[in-house]
Every structure is written in structure tokens, then in C-alpha cells.
Structure 1
Amino acid sequence: MIMDGSTRMDLLPFADAHAVMVVGWPTSASEVVMWCGRKEFPVSAQTITDWQRDDDVQAHVLVEDEKVVGYGELWFDAEEDEVELARIIVAPGNRGKGLGRVLVRELLAQALGAGYSDVFMRVHPDNETALRCYRGAGFVPVGADLAESWNAAQPVNYVWLQRDAEAPGS
């Protein structure tokens, strides 16, 4: 449980029933691209539930006072001993309230609690709001050489971020 003033928030495991809600959160085709890199709009509930079929993916929802307000995934890579935070989105009516930062910090806590200290994120280069959020949650850009090598197989040159181990609370 996360307490923020008088508000109660919980990070809970994703259930297939949450997909119906999450599919309505991206408000445009361009937002879908920035959120999950897909070209379809809207994204289907089946697509979101299918993402959960990968054993290395753990999806979570952020619940505020019993209302689902955020969604995000942890992509575990045991071979590389790292985790990527992915497909993070906050419900449109709840944006701009710091919930994205809460969600990212809670997902980071899950990754660290699972024993992973190398935690990364990729962000669409046009998603300035997300970049501000993630930097505020304790993430910093990876080195240019590493970003270049990771972007070689990507559809766009993502901004790659990593957990700042020097940041307070990391």
C-alpha cells in the first residue's frame, strides 16, 4: 500500500479484466505509438491480455481508492540480469497529478525487490511528458554508445534511461 496524503494507492497484479479499461486510455493513434509502439488504434483488449502470455512479463495496475488509474509492465531478462519497465500509461482523467511517477517508483521497487539492480526504460523521443516523469522518478539517460547499439534494431531512436543508483531512494 502506498499512502499519499489521504489517498490510498496499491500496485496490484494485472488481471485480464483490466484490459478492457486500459484499451480506452490512449486517446489517439500517435499516443498508442508512444505508449507501446503499435500502429493499431485503438489497441484491442486481446492484444493487452496477449502481452501477459510471456513468462518474462509481469504487468501491474496502480489503484487509487479502488479505481484503476495506471498500468505498467516489468520485462525480466534473467540472462542479462536486468529489468525493463515498459508500456506505462495513466488514465487520461488522472494525468498531471504525479501518478505516473508513483507508478514508475512502485514498478522500480518491484524490480529491486526481485533482486535486479539494473533497471532500464525506453521512451519514444517525442514523449516529453513521459521523459520528465521518468527523470523525476530517478531515471537518467544511458550512455550514447549503449543507446545507439540498443536502437540499431528498433523502429525509432528511443531515449534509453536507467535507474540512477545515486538518486535518493534508489
Structure 2
Amino acid sequence: MTVSIRPPVAADYVAIAAWIPDAVACVRWAGPQLAYPFDPEQLPQLLQVQPGASFALCQSDGDLLGFGQYRLRQPGVAHLCRIIIAPEARGRGLGKILCRQLMEEASRTAMAQAATLRVYRDNPAARAVYAELGFIAVEAESTVDVLWMQKKISRAG
């Protein structure tokens, strides 16, 4: 399967909104600043990250498979956020592909040399993906519920 990232379009946001079933899922995905329910047409503005960028993960036929963002926390450090894979596409390694491509994009366009992210401790699937990508937990930056992870970005991602 050939996949790539591209800037999201309006139809992507409608699909992403359908992947968020309730307020709890919304907070876990987007954080407390995105109130549920939300208007899918307003998601581009509600999810805007500055400085940073949003991307849709798509199959070669254009089917939307996922969404993710990075924002620059400080020069050289990209924070991956709002990572989500379409429910019907989960379990196929797409989260890892999306994160790799986000890091490559952040390295290429923003000169990022490191990446960080947050993951809920009770999300073993996501934690495993991030560990396989080389992210290491930083307990000093973590909370009881959320694990802070970081890694250096190499040219290979």
C-alpha cells in the first residue's frame, strides 16, 4: 500500500469529525481547547497550529487514512500532536507511517532535530508505536495520566 501525506482539504475534516464519537474521545485526541460537539467546517481554524502544520495521510487512490500535526515548541523541536487513524484502518501500521512522515516533514521544512509527543498511559497501542519509532519516556515531564516522550530526528526519521 502506497501512502503519503498532504495538506488536508475540507472533506478530510468532515471525515475526521466522524472518527470522534464523543467528548471524551475529543479531549483525548485534541485536548481540552476543542469543545465537543464541534462544527467540522470550523476544524481547520479550531485545529490551527502556529508555527506548525497539519497533514492528511492518504492512500494513492486518495482515501483518507489519518491525520496529524506538528507544532514547533522551540527552534529545532517538533511536537507531534492530534495523531488519529481512521477507525477502519487501525492495526495496519499506519500510525507509525504517519509519525515518520510528520517527522520527515518537520525535519525538512522546519529544520527539526528532535520530536516530542504526549500519549495517554492507558493507550498501549499508541505507546507501542511510539516506542518502536524510538521515542523514549521522560517521566520528569509526564503526569499520572499522560506520558511525555521524545526522540532525536535522524535523516531516516
For normalisation by structure 2, the TM-score amounts to 0.83
**One-letter identity of the residue aligned with 1:21:** A
1:36 aligns with 2:23: no
**One-letter identity of the residue aligned with 2:129:** C
Distance 1:9 1:131 in 2: 22
1:104 aligned to 96, 99, 119, which one? 99
Distance 1:14 1:95 in 2: 19
Deviates more, 1:37-46 or 1:15-24: 37-46
Structure 1 unmatched runs, 5+:
1-6
Structure 2 unmatched runs, 5+:
none
Q: CA RMSD in A?
A: 2.5
The residue aligned with 1:4 is none
Q: Any idea what the Cα deviations from partners look like across 1:126-163, whole Å, max 9, x if unmatched?
A: 22221112112221112x33x15xx6xxxx74211112
Distance 1:97 1:73 in 2: 20
Within-5 A mapping of 1:9-48: 9-38=3-32, 40-48=35-43
1:83 aligns with 2:78: yes
- Number of matched residues? 154
Identity of aligned residues (%): 26
| Secondary structure of residue in 1 paired with 2:14 | helix
The residue aligned with 2:68 is 72
| Secondary structure of residue in 2 paired with 1:126 | coil
Distance 1:63 1:31 in 2: 22
Distance 2:19 2:55 in 1: 15
Within-5 A mapping of 1:1-170: 7-38=1-32, 40-64=35-59, 65-77=61-73, 79-114=74-109, 115-142=111-138, 144-145=139-140, 147-148=141-142, 157-164=145-152, 169-170=156-157
Cα contact 2:115–2:153 (8 A) shared by 1: no
For normalisation by structure 1, the TM-score amounts to 0.77
Distance 1:108 1:51 in 2: 22
Distance 1:37 1:52 in 2: 10
Q: Any idea what the Cα deviations from partners look like across 1:50-100, whole Å, max 9, x if unmatched?
A: 1354431300000013101100001123x4431100000000100011111
Cα contact 1:34–1:126 (8 A) shared by 2: no
